[in-house]
Chain A
C-alpha cells in the first residue's frame, strides 16, 4: 500500500473519530443543540444544567470510550501477534475473569457478611468495585507472567490462560450461588460494561494510566514484527523469546486490567479491531498497525457508546450488548470488501 493511501486512511479514521466524539456530546436522553455544545465547550454558556450534562456526564463518558477502545484494541493486537492466533484477545489471559472474580468477591461477600447489599455503601462501592477488579486482574496477570517467563511454547500458554479464566469463572459462579439477590443484580450490571463509571473525579488517573500503556506499545513494534516470522526465526534474529513475551503480556494485561476495572469486561473490541486495521491497510507492519488499531478502537467504542445512549433507549444500554451487534457486521464487510 502506498504511503499516500496510508496517510489518507489514517486521516479518515481520525475525522470519523472527531465527528463521533461530537455526536457523543450531542446525543443522549436530552438532546443538546450543536451550537450549544460549542458554547459549553468554549465556556460561553450560562445554562447550568447543560454544563453539568456535558462536562460531568457526556464528556468524561466519551473520553472513557475513546481511551478504553484504543487500549482494548491494541491489547488484542498484541495478543494476536504474540500467540500468532487471529482469535486471540485480551480475555485469553484470564484477566477479565480475574477482574470478575475480584468484583465478585467484593460485591458478593460484603453482602453475605454485612447482610446488606454493597450498593448501599454508595460512593465507596464504586471505588471498591474498581479496586477489586484491578486486584483480581493483576493477580491473574502475575500468574500468567510467572508461566510465560518459564515457557517458550505459546500454545501451552494459551491453554493455561484459558484454564485460569475458567477457574476464576467457576469460583465466581459459586460465590454468586451464595449471594443476595440485589448483589447479583449489581454484579450482572458491572459485567455488562459501561463507559459511564469513570466520571470527572477518576478521569485523571484513568487517562494517565491508559496513555502510559498506549505509549509503551509503540516501542514493541519492532519485536512484534519479527515475531510474525515464528518464534524460531525471531529467536535466531536475536529476540529473547521469554523476556519478550513477558513484556507483551505485561503491557496487554496492564491495559486490559485498567479498562476492566473501570468499565467492566468489555468483549469483542480487542478481538475484532486488529482485523479491521489489517484488512483496511493490508499490512503486517506493527509500526502502522499499532496506531491504526488504536484509532479504529477509539472510533468503534465511540459508535458503541453512541448507540447505547440513543434517545429511544431511556437510560443506557449495556455496552457489551452493542459491541458485537455493531462490530461484527463492520468486520465482515471490511473483510469482504478487501477480498475483491
Chain B
C-alpha cells in the first residue's frame, strides 16, 4: 500500500499551547480512518493542522514524503481536499458553482472552466448521486444533500487525500449509513485516503476498519477498530461501563 501522509512526533495546538502531542500515524492509499474523541480533545485542531490553517506546534507532517508546510498552497490544493461542517450561505450560489469551486486549483487567472473541468464536475456529482441537483440553489438543499455536494466538491478537487470534519453530524440514520458506504467506495474504487471525524462510535466500529483516538490527558491511539475494542482501549478512552463494553464486543466482534 502506498504511503500518502505520515506524521512524526507531531504536536498540535494554538500559539505554543499544545493540545495533543506525540502523534505518529500513517495514512495509506485506500485507507478510511475515523478520528474519534470527546469534544475539545483536539479533533478540529488536528484537521486545521492538516489543512495548514494552523501550524504544528512541534514535529512534522509529510505528504508524499514532502514536508506539508513547505508545499505551496497551489500544489497542496491538488493533494489534500477538505469537507467541513461550515457551509457556503450565499443566496444565489448554485450546486454547480460549489462543485465548480473544486476545480479552481486547475483553472487560469479568470477561473474559466475547460471542457475537462465541466466533465469532472458532472462525474463528481454522479459519484455521490446528486447530479439531479446541479441547477438548484445550494442554500435550499437539505443537510444530507448539502453534505453530498460538499463531498462532490472535494472529489472534483481530485486530491489523493480527503479529510471530512464531522460528516455525519446533521444526518439521519439512513443517510449516515449511505455516507459511510460512499466514503468506502471512494477509498476502494478511487484509491483515495480518507480521514473523517465522528461521534457515532457504534457506527464507526461497524463500518470502518481503523480508528484514531484523541482524548484529553491520554496518548494518541491508533489501530484496527476491533483490536482497540478487544484490548480495552475503547473502554478506557471513552469511559465505558463494563456492561456497555461487553455489549459492543458481542455486537461487533
Q: Is the CB of A221 within 8 A of B53?
A: no
List B97-150 residues whose CB lies under 8 Å from chain A: 97-98, 101-102, 104-105, 107, 109-111
Q: Is the CB of A237 within 8 A of B105?
A: yes
Within 8 Å by CB of A221, from B76, B84, B105, B110, lies: B110
Which of A278, A285, A287 has the most B CB atoms < 10 Å from its CB?
A285
Q: Which of chain B's residues has its CB closest to A228's CB?
A: B90
Q: Is the CB of B104 within 8 A of A222?
A: yes
B-side interface residues, number (CB < 8 Å): 32
Contact code string B78-97 (vs A, CB < 8 Å = 1, else 0): 00111010111111111001
Q: Is the CB of A238 within 8 A of B109?
A: no
Q: Is the interface of B mostly helix, strand, loop or mixed?
A: loop
Q: Is the CB of A225 within 8 A of B101?
A: yes
Q: Is B77 close to A, CB under 8 A? A: yes
Residues of B near A215 (CB, < 8 A) are none
Residues of A near B52 (CB, < 8 A) are 235
Q: Which of chain B's residues has its CB closest to A235's CB?
A: B53
Instruction: Report the Cα distance A233→B153, complex, angstroms.
Output: 10
Q: Is the CB of A236 within 8 A of B92?
A: no
Which of B51, B73, B81, B153 has the most A CB atoms < 10 Å from its CB?
B73
Residues of A near B87 (CB, < 8 A) are 230
Chain A residues with CB under 8 Å of chain B are 84, 218-219, 221-222, 225-226, 228-230, 232-233, 235-240, 278, 282-285, 287
Q: Is B74 close to A, CB under 8 A? A: yes
Q: Is the CB of A232 within 8 A of B53?
A: yes
Q: Is the CB of A233 within 8 A of B101?
A: yes
Within 8 Å by CB of B111, from A221, A228, A240, A284, lies: A221
Contact code string B51-67 (vs A, CB < 8 Å = 1, else 0): 11100000000000000
Instruction: Report the Cα distance A243→B81, complex, angstroms.
Output: 21
Q: Is the CB of B82 within 8 A of A233?
A: yes
Nearest CB of A to B171, in Å: 20
Report if A236-B81 is in contact (Cβ < 8 Å); known contacts: A228-B93, A229-B98, A283-B92: yes
Instruction: Report the Cα distance A61→B91, complex, angstroms.
Output: 36
Q: Is the CB of A235 within 8 A of B86?
A: no
Q: Is the CB of A226 within 8 A of B104?
A: yes
Instruction: Report the Cα distance A237→B80, complex, angstroms.
Output: 9
Within 8 Å by CB of A284, from B77, B90, B105, B153, lies: B90
Q: Is the CB of A226 within 8 A of B110?
A: no
Q: Is the CB of A284 within 8 A of B93?
A: yes
- Give me 28 A-to-B residue pairs in the complex whose CB atoms sit less than 8 angstroms apart, sorted by A's number: A218-B110, A221-B111, A222-B104, A222-B109, A228-B88, A228-B90, A228-B93, A228-B97, A229-B88, A230-B84, A230-B86, A232-B82, A232-B86, A233-B86, A233-B88, A233-B153, A235-B52, A235-B73, A236-B77, A237-B77, A237-B101, A238-B74, A238-B76, A238-B77, A278-B91, A284-B91, A284-B94, A285-B97
Instruction: Report the Cα distance A193→B82, complex, angstroms.
Output: 47
Residues of B near A238 (CB, < 8 A) are 73-74, 76-77, 104-105
Which of A236, A237, A283 has the most B CB atoms < 10 Å from its CB?
A236
Q: Is the CB of B88 within 8 A of A230?
A: yes
Q: Which of chain A's residues has its CB closest to B103's CB?
A: A237
Instruction: Report the Cα distance A236→B73, complex, angstroms.
Output: 8
Q: Is B157 close to A, CB under 8 A? A: yes
9 more A-B residue pairs beyond the given contacts A229-B88, A240-B73, A284-B92, with a C-beta to C-beta distance below 8 A: A222-B109, A228-B97, A230-B84, A230-B86, A233-B88, A235-B53, A237-B105, A278-B91, A278-B92
Contact code string B135-179 (vs A, CB < 8 Å = 1, else 0): 000000000000000000100010000000000000000000000
Residues of A near B97 (CB, < 8 A) are 225, 228, 284-285
Nearest CB of A to B76, in Å: 7
Q: Is the CB of B109 within 8 A of A229?
A: no
